[in-house]
Amino acid sequence: MLYTRAVDGWRSRRRREAWDEAAARQRPELRCHPDDAETVTRRLVLREALAKLTPRQRAVLVLRFYEDLTETQTAEALDCSVSTVKSQTRYALDRLRRIAPELAETFGHGIPVEAR
């Protein structure tokens, strides 16, 4: 029994390695990449900062910058005026800069709120 279990383990390991190599050739994005800790940290900080915004501010930022909608399209989606979209965007970005100053370059300008 121990012998057959060992042989099964070798066979499955060889099959798994062969599949990994074949998959990597067909789909390069499946190859292992080193963990980019800075990117992961930045995403976590951004997620926590976005959670501290009001729902409307979060919606405006997602529609404007993630969905890449214009101010007019965002206003139509949220059923509000274009000036409301502009002001909510400004307030949300200012608040994000204060909550997470290490992400200031992500939101543009790269200038801390205190320096302006």
Domain 37-115: CATH architecture, name and number where available: Orthogonal Bundle (1.10)
| 13 band by pLDDT with thresholds 50, 70 and 90 | low
Domain range annotation of the chain: 1-33, 37-115
Return the closest-CA partner of residue 114 out of 102, 106, 101, 105.
101
pTM listed for this prediction: 0.58
List, for residues 65-84, the tens digit of each pLDDT value.
889 999 999 999 999 999 99
Q: Are 63 and 88 in contact (CB under 8 A)?
A: no
